[in-house]
Amino acid sequence: MPVFQRLPRVLSALAVWLAVPLAASAAVDDTFGRVGRIVSLQGDVSFFDPDRDEWTEALRNRPVTTGDRLVLARGARAELRVGGAVLLLSGATDVEVLRLDDDHLKLELHRGSLALRLPSRDLAEQTELRTRETLLRPQRAGQYRVDRDDESTFAAVMRGALEASGHGHLLLIDSGERHEIWRDDRRDTARSRITRMPDDRLAAWAEENFRDEDRRAEAWRYASPDIPGIEELDGHGRWEQHPDYGAVWSPIRVSAGWTPFRDGRWVWMRPWGWTWVDAQPWGFAPAHYGRWVQWHGRWAWWPGARHARPVFAPAVVAWVGGPNVGVSVNIGIGHAPPVSWVPLRPYQPYVPIVVPRPHHHPKPPPVREPVMRPGVGAPGVTYGPQGVPNNVQAVPAARPAPVARPTATPAAAQPVTVSPRAAQVQTQPQVPPQLQAQPQPQPQPQPPATRPVPAPAAPQAQAPKPERSDSRADQRRRDQTQ
């Protein structure tokens, strides 16, 4: 075949070959995009779990991503951060994250009040805030406040500019202004009017919080300010110069023999699967970014190269496997969290145990405000302050592994002795029998329903076939007779 005739086939094959890594890269980017985090909580704050289709108690340091929804009871408050954006929520507030990735921050306020600080114009252009009455788009960096009741949306600009649009209505709100926006159902349009600026606890909290944001964090001198939660390290540790890795941070006021990834819990989160939620107030950045190193008999956190783009990981750990210890890497609702893990050292690759975001259609969460029972925590597997030799965190392999969707928080795990030979980091861990998904009882097959069998039809009488004679003489006699 001439070369020019084979050229289209060659190009088609090349296009398919190139599409494979691009598709894989898109899946990874979708999984490890920008995330938010819960910085602080006060009072009853509920978190909607789309996998379990129910409300649970929110946790500090829990990552926030697309599809998450928070409801605050009266008198409660919460602080969320997405990159440099600061989101303050007051009591009786219901807010939902419609989309959160590297290029978008889209929120919907169902009811209640929130204050928003956007430090840059780029972040402002990526942000949208929806209510039933209007769509709000910040026009530049600034400080904003939005309130919503059953019938109206109140949009205020402390600094910056805000565009409100929708239902045939377009409005530009300047700095120092506050507008009430409501829908006129009879005319199928929206209307607005100027109202006074709010003066309440949320306004005082926002003024104090946003003023503190203007100061420069000490951690920014040693690490990239793009690492979420890096500012929380101030006041909780000290920075030193490591001879090989440069600036490293060591926590203070921790118990003797403390090791990373010991105080916290594993929770199931889309799209990552089992994700570590650290119990320390400074624990978000060291748990999901950088690496850990042992130096002078203690643990120190290395934030990574300053010029490198921070990439979120559910937990910067390696899974431990060997003759006595193993871990399941088959992430799914029906699998257990890791049994043993160890912090990653500098330049050790992170091996993800996730799958691309599945296509699912979760049910809409209930609109009513949930009633939280005191003493009931969020679902997940909690690991208390028990450590094991060689700095490997583990739970007994014989311990019943949670299957399906956990409905309660098990008791704290007991220490496990892991020998140096068993504590071998594996890039492809083995799955022990204890972590295999338990077979679900299959329903006994029921006998099929008896159907009436129609009686066979009576055979129809057939005309007798003429007998065939092979004698030629008989044939000639019949011909003569005729």
The one-letter amino acid at 66 = T
pLDDT digits (tens, 9 = 90+) for 43-54: 999 998 877 788
Instruction: Write down the pLDDT at residue 378.
Output: 32
Q: Give φ, ψ of 257 to 5 degrees.
A: 75, 15
Domain 36-213 has CATH 1.10.3470.10: no
Sign of the torsion formed by the C-alpha atoms of 12, 17, 18 and 24: positive
Please tell me whether residue 320 adopts helix, strand or coil conformation: strand
Instruction: Write down the pLDDT at residue 481.
Output: 54
Q: Alpha-carbon distance 293 to 259, whole Å? A: 11
Instruction: Write down the pLDDT at residue 168.
Output: 87
Name residues of the chain where pLDDT drops below 70.
Answer: 1-32, 214, 321-339, 352-482
Q: Alpha-carbon distance 416 to 400, whole Å? A: 15
Cis ω before 271 (30° cut-off from 0): yes
- Kindly state the tokens that stand for 274: 């089992």
What is the side-by-side strand order in the sheet with 246-251? 237-242, 246-251, 298-302, 291-295
Please tell me whether residue 93 adopts helix, strand or coil conformation: strand
Give the number of other Cβ atoms within 10 Å of residue 332's Cβ.
12
Q: Give φ, ψ of 182 to 5 degrees.
A: -140, 165
Domain ranges of the chain: 1-31, 36-213, 226-371+378-434
In this structure, are strands 127-130 and 105-118 parallel, antiparallel, or unpaired? parallel
pLDDT digits (tens, 9 = 90+) for 386-444: 333 345 665 544 333 332 333 333 333 333 434 444 444 443 333 333 333 344 444 44
DSSP letter for 435, please: G
Instruction: Write down the pLDDT at residue 477.
Output: 57
Q: Which residues of 410-422 are buried (b: 16+ CB within 10 A; e: fewer)?
A: eeebeebebeeeb
Residue 272: exposure state from Cβ atoms within 10 A (0-12, 13-18, ≥19): buried
Instruction: Write down the pLDDT at residue 153.
Output: 97
Cβ–Cβ < 8 Å for 302, 62 = no
